[in-house]
Amino acid sequence: MDSNQVKDYLINLQKSIMSAVSIKDGGTPFISDEWKKPSNEPLQGNGITQILENGKVFERAGCGFSHVKGSKLPPSATQHRPELAGAPFEAMGVSLVFHPRNPFVPTVHMNVRMICVTAQSGEAVSWFGGGMDLTPYYGFEEDAVHFHKTCYDALAPFGADLYPRFKTWCDEYFCLKHRGEQRGIGGIFFDDFSELGIEKSFSMLKSVGDSFLLAYMPIVNRRLDTPYGERERGHQLYRRGRYVEFNLVWDRGTHFGLQSGGRTESILLSMPPLVSWAYQLEPEEGSPEHQLMQRFIVRRDWL
C-alpha cells in the first residue's frame, strides 16, 4: 500500500473535522500553522497544526497532522515490538483534543496513525493505531451510550471481537494508575494493528476516523446551551487537572513526540487553556460531581 494514500486521507480528515468545529462555533476562524522540521535535526518531517482558541463553544480545539521520519524509533512506540527499538521509522497521524467552554459538554480525544519501520533484516513493518475517548465533567447516560454505540458501529464491519477488545484496551490505557482512577468513560483504543492485512486494516482506521464527528457532535448539540455557574466551572477546571496529569505522565503519544524530537508546541496542543488543582478535594456525597465519579469515571459496559 502506498503511504501517500494514508497521508491524503489524514490531511482530508483534519480539514473536515476542523471545518465542522469552526461552523459549530459560529464561524470562529482557526489558525492553520504549517511547519517543517529543520534539516539539521535528527527527526525530519512536516505537519499542519490547526487550532481554534477562545471560541463561543470551544475554549480550545486543536487538531494536528504530522508526518515525520527518524533514524531511531523511540521505546514509547515499541511496547509490543521491542526488537524494533532504535530502527529507522516513518510515522504519520492526526491527533485532536477539544476542550469545550460549557462544563456540561465533555472533552474529547481522537487519534489515528500509521507507523512504518525498517527492521534489521531490511523488511518494512507497518501498523496502525488510534481510537477515541470521551471525558465528561457531568455524566449523562444517553451521551455515554451514544458515544460507545458509534464506536461499536465503526468497528462492527471488521469483526465482532474488535469493539470489546478495543474498549477494554481503552479502559486499561486511559487510566491514571497513580490514582487508580479512569480518565473518562473510555471509548476505543488500539495499537500495533495490522492483523486484517494492511489494506483492510487501513479501511478499519478510516472507519474509526470517519465516525468521530458522528460520535461527538450530537453530544455537543445536546449540552452546549445548558446553564452553568461558578460551581460547575470550578469542577470542570479541577477535573481538567486529571487530563493534564494523564497526558504528561502516561500518554505514549506525548512521550513518543517528545522522545523522537517532535515539535513541542504541536505535541502539547492537547493541553487545556485553563486548569486548577486542589488538595484532597472530595465531592459532596449525592451531588452531580459525586455521581460522575461513582457512575461514569469507572469501567462499565455502556452497551
Q: Is the Cβ–Cβ distance between 92 and 77 less than 8 Å?
A: no
List the beta bridge partners of residue 68: 45, 91
How many Cβ atoms are within 10 Å of 40's Cβ, its own excluded? 6
Q: What is the DSSP letter of 283?
A: P
* Catalytic residue status for 109: yes
> Which cell goes with 206?
478510516
Q: Is the Cβ–Cβ distance between 14 and 63 less than 8 Å?
A: yes
User: Which is the catalytic residue, given 109, 146, 148, 235?
Assistant: 109
Contacting residues for 71 by C-beta, under 8 A, at least 6 apart: 42, 88
Reduced to 3 DSSP states, what percent helix, strand and coil does the chain have, rounded to the nearest 5? 40, 25, 35
Dist. CA 174–CA 189, nearest whole Å: 9
Nearest to 39 by CA among 69, 73, 18: 69
Contacting residues for 122 by C-beta, under 8 A, at least 6 apart: none
> Which cell goes with 254?
506525548
Q: C-alpha angle 69/73/77, rounded to 5°?
A: 110
User: Residues with catalytic annotation?
Assistant: 109
